[in-house]
Structure 1
């Protein structure tokens, strides 16, 4: 096992290998590849786009939303510089600070918390987003002189039928998504950013996740959600270059030049009433999703990646895929061609005290414009999806995730605050 304090000589080779594998897979591989061992290497931090969006989805998540508690713009910008430097180090398997967990003065607190000592990078990616409230507070006050840079696409999400949102675990000024193939590596990253930000930010809420619920590359198999169904079969993937250009990456002409090359993230904590679901017949479960549970094929088809036939009728003359089926309501054909790049995670956070698991999906989806993508899709689902009988949306967030950091002279938020 490689120490996090040692530079990985194969770091550059590791990602080139991943990229090459993805390119070959797109051209030659079966749509359902064999499961690959977890990637323990380092994902490059610098680049045109932030890592952690089209990066092949890792197995673990630690997501955190932060409130900015200072009124000093200079302190916030300096923290973002420090966060960027720490993120660049941690994603390469190094300590958060230059002195490390044990290299400083014994009389002073270490500049790394130390719980990831000896662990490899584990594919760690750190992705930052800015919430609407960072630009203006609830009273409309320009908090940091950036209100005129509020993107139109960062419009507050509407209330959807069935929402049971808890304000204390919704929204926030900043978010950081830490994804890795080792939960301790992801937790270590968020913990150290919170430590560095002491006095400038405080954690509003955080969410641990396991078992990715989407594939973001054709090199990955389709995973299953806690309802036992394959999830995200038709997800956008990193090999879909033209689709990503049209549906994922923001452009300067969209109205916020500082967001060019970035993307908008919607987060939703979706509680599942798994006990009720577990008492539902297999036939009904499959009708609700519009797919069979074993293979994941659209009803009436044989394979997971077969195109669904929404006009096909069963022996009773009714649509093979019901009009209220999840697959139909979420399909681009019924949402003006809208696609999402999903990279959500399962969660189980103990019990609710009434003998039921507090379990579900921490939904995360990236897109070019939520007003044209997530909002119409969710309206369709909230209005008619039979799955709503088994789920509750209890948390919500919308974030502007800027383009990637180009090098050592750049930092998170530079284009926004310059």
Structure 2
């Protein structure tokens, strides 16, 4: 990627290997087999962006084209951060049974993530190092700015226990809020698009930057992890800057009008960030983190497109043009829920209908070609962060799955839940350290 000239506070990045010694370039070439320099990022000497504080920023503060979003902080970037336009989300299976290998991978991932979000190449880059060996960086982001890239890391239930086995000695550290999601009415889940031991959410304003990030993390993990499933997304369907223009989903309706703002620290503390006392005992490592639910929602586009405008608006409880609630003039007018149909989506999902429950949404539209009948495989890749899945997504989805008129036009076909640890606070910290400490 291009060198950066934006004003970002920086700190030197550690250049030692996991044993405290600086590994040689030649020794690194033997780590991954087939010449893959899996640990080469440890030898990088350029600085990584360092944030003091958390990832809450003023609306639009990181919206400058090509700017870098600081990687370090109390919370992971990519949650309350102003939502970027593009997504590459990947869920991984851990294929090694060695705890030390997994920890080493997480350290290497963290170093690589800090470099890529700052706009730097991985390791010695795409053209540096030995000509006889594969480059450390795949190179497709050469010359591109950071594009507000954020990388958000999560841990799935199956990393703690799988088939009754305590895989890495962390079974008793699984948070109580990291539940296995129940089967909801109408679910038609594809196992190959669900679950995962780990996840990384890459968001950026340039799709090539986001794809580059996931590609390089997968490459670094060769032999230790494998991509279980992934999803590309475009055209954010929710915003953490609700004072800005509200985006539209694939059904043509504005989405995220009442989403939690990235600047609303009180709402974030109440509904998104895990509190110090939320997880007792050995799961206290989640304080400052959050819980992510990812759902791939297929939209029956062709059926929706043949539905009358009035019916579409009744289903959502908003008009299609302005986005105003039924009986109101402006999009952000307070909705009068009783004026909507009992099955209207807005009425059922509104906090006033759910005891004040709120979640932070970061959804994206997707279009993955067509199916065997020529219908668009398109819809919403739903991403929701919350303080506790048991009191956030689960009760909301239980209500929506049973009563929402929108269910005639959508179907949940993929699902996963992850614990998203707190942020990496300093240059020598790493993803998941609190869990494995």
TM over 0.5: yes
Alpha-carbon distance in structure 2 between the residues aligned to 1:220 and 1:257: 36
Aligned to 1:408: 427
1:62 matched to 2:93? The reply is no
Q: Secondary structure at the match of 1:236?
A: coil
User: Paired residues, what number?
Assistant: 393
Q: CA deviation at 1:238?
A: 1.1
CA contact (8 A) 1:8 1:92 kept: no
Aligned to 2:378: 359
Which 5+ residue runs of structure 1 have no aligned equivalent? Answer: 25-35, 312-319
Aligned to 2:34: none
1:100 matched to 2:125? The reply is yes
Say if 1:65 and 1:20 are closer, same or farther in 2 by CA, change over 3 A: closer
Q: CA deviation at 1:352?
A: 0.3
CA contact (8 A) 2:242 2:256 kept: no
Q: Secondary structure at the match of 2:223?
A: coil
Aligned to 1:81: 107
Q: 1:152-163 counterparts in 2 under 5 A? A: 152-163=176-187
Aligned to 1:317: none
Say if 1:277 and 1:42 are closer, same or farther in 2 by CA, change over 3 A: same
Say if 1:177 and 1:20 are closer, same or farther in 2 by CA, change over 3 A: closer
Q: 1:132 aligns with which of 157, 162, 167?
A: 157
CA contact (8 A) 1:251 1:257 kept: no
Q: 2:336 aligns with which of 302, 306, 309?
A: 309
> Cα deviation per residue 1:334-366 (whole Å; 9 max; x = unaligned)?
112110100010000000021110000000000
1:177 matched to 2:204? The reply is no
Aligned to 1:297: 324
Question: Which sits farther off after the overlay, 276-285 or 302-311?
Answer: 302-311
Q: 2:246 aligns with which of 195, 201, 222?
A: 222
RMSD across aligned C-alpha pairs, in angstroms?
1.9
Q: CA deviation at 1:37?
A: 7.0
Aligned to 1:28: none
1:283 matched to 2:310? The reply is yes
Divergent runs of 4+, >6 A: 13-16
> Cα deviation per residue 1:120-146 (whole Å; 9 max; x = unaligned)?
000000000000000000x22110000
CA contact (8 A) 2:242 2:259 kept: no
Alpha-carbon distance in structure 1 between the residues aligned to 2:84 and 2:239: 9
> Cα deviation per residue 1:21-69 (whole Å; 9 max; x = unaligned)?
5399xxxxxxxxxxx9763110000001000000000000000000000
Alpha-carbon distance in structure 1 between the residues aligned to 2:122 and 2:227: 18
Which 5+ residue runs of structure 2 have no aligned equivalent? Answer: 11-48
TM-score of the pair, normalised by structure 1: 0.91
Say if 1:380 and 1:19 are closer, same or farther in 2 by CA, change over 3 A: closer
Q: 1:186 aligns with which of 194, 210, 213?
A: 210
Q: CA deviation at 1:408?
A: 1.3
CA contact (8 A) 2:6 2:67 kept: no
CA contact (8 A) 1:128 1:176 kept: yes
TM-score of the pair, normalised by structure 2: 0.87
Q: CA deviation at 1:10?
A: 2.7
Q: CA deviation at 1:301?
A: 0.2
Q: CA deviation at 1:239?
A: 1.8
Q: 2:59 aligns with which of 22, 46, 63?
A: 22
1:266 matched to 2:263? The reply is no
1:200 matched to 2:197? The reply is no
Q: CA deviation at 1:151?
A: 0.4
Q: CA deviation at 1:409?
A: 1.6
